Structure 1
């Protein structure tokens, strides 16, 4: 969430930033609403001050036995008592309306973010590895999985409907191996603390990371009012909500391997074959809580941690700097890692690493106290996939496929596969 004080002082900067994101100008409307709210607040303060003064004047009038003045002052206080509740309710409504409008404004892009409309305007930052070269035609993951007998979409549909998958046998183990490998790498070499956190959260947690109120239709809600997490970013980031941290303890780095749940409300007709776009999928999430000065360097570090996963899996990928029109709601800058999928003959996103500034810290009221011990500042937050497990499984299947349809297990995953080096067709 943006600070209304900042908006009042930087109206043109806000509208320019929104224009970069392809959004309409909002500064004038927000400032007018805030002025109305502040006017009501000032009126309430004036009435309260006058009521307090009148109360004291009654005592003085009574002391002088000026009963007419005392009664007049009592009538004045009674009048304030009658009209102040209306003004207080107006102030509550205006504050709620302003807060709601502020909560729907996307974050301000950093100056070095390329300006653009959509994914076609993203910029290649670096390319790692090479595309595999084969003499045989590449198959897509669902062709391989179904032919092997370990990937079943019909049974998944019978259980849950579309956009679900049932994996069995060695493919189920391969998916588990990929997730465990990611978690072990980030905790043992990259300095992240493993967290096992809830999969259901309250409204406040979704609001804190920016999923609510704007993106409610993208989420699943339980019958008792909780939300299924669309990413462990929600729980990991909200671990510090409402807290004041010591700056010398930052950065905090958390990781979790969890299921994620997304309604995919806006993706009708997209990626309907296979398991690229699912309602439920595993993801290894990375979250950092930092101070203002460290956030940009932490963004580069986090992205490198996610890249290392793909390097060790031996996958060809490219790192993209997202343009202003393709960035997420809460991001100031985002790098997407796009892995090469030979079966599709294209790159697909497998990780997204974003620096959010104090956008989420302000929504969560999470702060840190400076080393001088004076005052507090909102924390800066970062999040990234380290990486999406289901898409990593797809990438491994398609990049390690053999001409006979079998799949060679990458060396780095062998310790997790119980000695299995190749996944072959079920007998």
Structure 2
């Protein structure tokens, strides 16, 4: 899945050998220099000034060489760290083999394709017809990929956010409203750095980053923490805007709401005991599927193959909804178990009954990302009279039709 991983590990082992050699020589020189320094005082007391000065010169030379070796050791340690950050997680045994998204396994499918009326059009035509999302205004104010949501479009967006948050709260998730800007340590903690460095918006002056997902600040709440075993699972839900540069993205597959630079998403995150994390992964997937069923959307579940896994994930399930007007599947959620990969970076541990420390498992899932949900809802519910609002959203929208 990651052909560069074996090469990286070989380089890592080579550099580690060099680091150990530099460290050993460094320590030997320091010990020798310290031994010579102890002799100097005795020689001075004995009046052997010339011998003392000779040893002083030897000691100074050793310290200079020791400093060079110390710098060399630090250089190797930094190279090791950079390499370690680029080693991917080990896929779970239940992850299918494969090199790309073409090898992902469809493991479930629910619902039927809606029978649209003869005048049905894709969502990018619908939003113009009903003036609910404005891409041109977004280009004027910011740039491509930063749309304005207007009128009933803005209210539908807010309705979806509140519906997702309320549903998560019913399932025992504790809501948090995290910062949407993170520091570098947080980016490294959950694995966005250095892997997704080029996809993140960077604020150079403060060395901050705009978040690509709420997973990052929420999971980093527990960076460096040691938690009690009986405190797990820790369950959080958070709503944030998300920012992704999506460099190099173009074409019909990213048209309209299919891919944006700024979008809203509700994220669920769990910190779980290692013995229970795969049961939790299943529960989180079922929860997301339940949301899609309540919205009346046709969906399928994919077990991602090893080649399509992100660097941090041990296993990921994608949920895709069918867009009837585009006649294609749109990914709306990824639910992942990172096992100890993030926890190791975060130094997130728990104490067992014997007071021993162990790494936790972390999980997260989109529940849900709004743009493609919005696209599917608009397209699949369009009629000659307007766009019907799913019944479950009526208490949140205050209207049953966009027309």
Fold-level similarity (TM above 0.5) = yes
| 1:253 and 2:232 correspond | no
Q: Identify the residue that residue 222 of structure 1 maps to in structure 2.
A: 203
- Residue 181 of structure 1 deviates from its aligned partner by 0.3
Q: Could you say what secondary structure the match of 1:111 adopts? A: coil
Alpha-carbon RMSD across the aligned residues, in angstroms, is 2.2
Q: How many angstroms does 1:131 deviate by?
A: 1.9
**Match status 1:412 vs 2:400:** no
TM-score (norm 1): 0.88
TM-score, normalising length from structure 2?
A: 0.93
Distance 1:23 1:402, change over 3 A: farther
Aligned to 2:183: 202
Q: CA deviation at 1:134?
A: 4.0
Query: For the residues of structure 2 that align with 1:159 and 1:104, how far apart are their CA atoms?
Result: 37
TM-superposed CA distance for 1:368, in Å, is 2.1
DSSP 3-state at the match of 1:306: helix
Does structure 2 retain, via aligned residues, the 8 Å contact 1:248–1:371?
no
Residues 322, 334 of structure 1: 8 Å contact kept: yes
Separation (CA, whole Å) in 2 of partners of 1:52 and 1:23: 42
Structure 1 stretch 204-213 or stretch 176-185: which is displaced more? 204-213
Closer/same/farther in 2, CA of residues 42 and 118 from structure 1, 3 Å limit: same
Q: What is the rounded CA distance, in whole Å, between the counterparts of 2:28 and 2:370 in structure 1?
A: 59
Q: Any conservation in 2 of the 1:206–1:234 contact (CA below 8 Å)?
A: yes
CA shift, 1:180, in A, is: 0.7
| 2:384 paired with 1:403 | yes
SS of match in other structure, 1:325: helix
Matched, 1:372 2:354: yes
Which residue of the partner structure matches residue 6 of structure 1? none
Are the counterparts in 2 of residues 367 and 378 from structure 1 also a CA contact under 8 Å? Answer: yes
2:362 is the alignment partner of 1:381: yes
Deviation, structure 1 residue 337: 0.2
2:194 corresponds to which of 207, 213, 216: 213
Q: Is contact 1:139-1:342 (8 Å) kept? A: no
1:160-215 deviation line (CA, Å, top 9, x unaligned): 2212222211111011101110011001x221111111111111111111121232
- Partner Cα distance (1:46, 1:291) in 2: 44
Distance in structure 2 (CA, Å) of the matches to 1:206 and 1:171: 33
Query: The residue matched to 1:25 in structure 2 has which SS?
Result: helix
Aligned pairs for 1:252-331 within 5 A: 252-269=234-251, 271-331=253-313
Secondary structure (helix, strand or coil) at the match of 2:306 reads coil
CA distance, structure 1, for counterparts of residue 198 and residue 10 of structure 2: 29
Structure 2: 5+ residue stretches without partners: none
Matching of residues 166-181 of structure 1 within 5 Å = 166-181=148-163
Provide the rounded CA distance (Å) in 2 between the counterparts of 1:45 and 1:293.
42
Residue-by-residue CA offset, 1:344-403 (whole Å, 9 max, x unaligned): 1121100001111221122222222223112x2232211210110122111211222113
1:164–1:275 contact (8 Å) kept in structure 2: no
Q: Does the aligned pair in 2 maintain the 1:220–1:263 contact within 8 Å?
A: yes
Q: How many residues in Structure 1 have an aligned counterpart in Structure 2? A: 402
- Contact 1:129–1:316, Cα closer than 8 Å, also in 2: yes
Residues 163 and 272 in structure 1, CA contact (< 8 A), matched pair in contact too: no
